[in-house]
Amino acid sequence: MRMHTLAIAGVLVFGLAACTSSPQPTATPSGVTTSATASPTGSAVADASGITVSTDLKTKPVISIPAGFGNVDKLIVRDIVPGTGAAVQATDNVTVNYVGIGAVTHQQFDASWDAHTTASFPLNGVIQGWQEGLLGMKVGGRRLLVIPGNLAYGANAPAGSGIQPNESLIFVVDLVSIP
């Protein structure tokens, strides 16, 4: 099963971009960087969780995750780039670009950017973490979501997805439009 199909079924996210001043970061082929210290440099913004995300909406973001970062027990929502358009409401259909990363594995499991297409879906048809985390987001913005396992897939991680049971998920979502 392609992960993009999984995304339409309930996991959708935007790209992540990372910058780090760590002396020895480790980059994976997906562009996820794990480092001992993550600090914002250039066009990156650091989240309170220590995750660093780039702000260039024209390119696939890459995420910098601090070494040792793992599961969280509550939803973390941070605007990386505030949008200026209409705000998402619970019953809206949305069109997004996204990247999804496992919080424990630090591995990308899905990205609309890699398929070179946006994803469109009804907000009330995706995982609870997206339903709560995208509310109020404005078109033209980039948002970081760190979703605890109980608001994602819980113990029922999709087979073949690379997502561990009860794993928290990290998403960066660019809100393209509310059709």
Q: What is the CA radius of gyration of the chain?
A: 15
The answer to whether residues 93 and 179 touch, using CB atoms and an 8 Å cutoff, is yes
Per-residue confidence (pLDDT) for residue 49, from 0 to 100: 78
Residue 137: the pLDDT is 98
Sequence ranges of the domains in the chain: 3-177
Q: What order do you get walking across the sheet with 63-66 strand by strand?
A: 26-27, 33-35, 63-66, 52-54, 44-46
**pTM (2 d.p.):** 0.78
What pLDDT tens digit does each residue of the chain (179 aa) get? 333 333 333 333 323 222 222 333 333 334 444 333 333 333 566 666 799 999 999 999 988 999 889 999 999 999 999 999 999 999 999 999 999 999 999 999 999 999 999 999 999 999 999 999 999 999 999 999 999 999 999 999 999 999 999 999 999 999 999 98
CA distance 122 to 129: 14
Kindly list the distances between the CA atom of residue 61 and the CA atoms of 56, 133, 144, 171, 174, in Å, as whole numbers in the listed order: 7, 18, 11, 10, 10
Q: Return the CATH number of the domain spanning residue range 3-177.
A: 3.10.50.40
d(CA 59, CA 112): 12
